[in-house]
Amino acid sequence: MAKSRYEPLVKLKKKALDTAERALISANNALSSATDKLNQAYDELSRMSLPTQGSVGEFTQAAAMIHAQHQTIETYQHTLQSAQHQQYRMRERFKEAMIDFEKFKYLEVQEMNMKLKHLKRQEDKMIDEIGIMAYKKEEL
User: pTM for the complete prediction?
Assistant: 0.75
CB-CB neighbours of 13 under 10 Å: 20
- Residue ranges per domain, the chain? 7-112
Average of per-residue pLDDT values in the chain = 92
| Per-residue pLDDT tens digits for 65-80 | 999 999 999 999 999 9
Contact 21, 94 (CB under 8 A): yes
| Per-residue pLDDT tens digits for 9-23 | 999 999 999 999 999
- Residue 21, pLDDT score: 97
Instruction: Please indicate whether residue 83 or residue 136 has the higher confidence score (pLDDT).
Output: 83
DSSP designation for 52: S
Question: How far lies 101's CA from each of 3, 42, 95, in Å?
Answer: 17, 43, 10
Phi/psi of residue 50, each to 5°?
Answer: -85, 140
Q: Just give the CATH number of 7-112.
A: 1.10.287.1700
Residue 112's contacts (CB-CB under 8 Å, 6 or more residues apart) are 1, 4
